[in-house]
Amino acid sequence: SNSIVIKNDEELKKKLIKLAKDVITSRVRMYEKIMNTKTHEVKVNSMYAARGKNYYSKGLLTFSYELVHFSLELIDAIVIHELAHDFKQNHSASFLRHKQHLEV
């Protein structure tokens, strides 16, 4: 059978986090190559204030597991945005111009 049994909300959240991490990590790896950035550690968890965050000094990207509900195009836009912070660590006009040139 191809069915999945979820016993409770906590089990559902764990499965969504794993699925989101698999999808997001594969997208991060693809865009790291395209954007010629370093390889990052990827974490996925509950995030209430943001969809993603780049801890550039640690080489760590964190993403909200809720991205699992988003389209790949939107996930890619968030991944590109966070990777662009390797080049500019803020949201200045310079960052926005630089990011615009990186989007594929």
Contact (Cβ atoms closer than 8 angstroms) between residue 65 and residue 17: yes
Torsion angle (degrees, nearest 10) of CA 71, 72, 76, 77: -20
Per-residue pLDDT of the chain (104 residues; tens, 9 = 90+): 677 788 899 999 999 999 999 999 999 999 999 999 999 999 999 887 789 999 999 999 999 999 999 999 999 999 999 999 998 877 777 766 666 665 54
- pLDDT at residue 99, rounded to an integer: 61
Q: Report how far apart, in Å, the C-alpha atoms of 101 and of each of 34, 81, 96 are.
A: 12, 11, 9
- pLDDT at residue 50, rounded to an integer: 86
The pTM for the full model equals 0.82
Give CA 22 to chain center in angstroms: 10
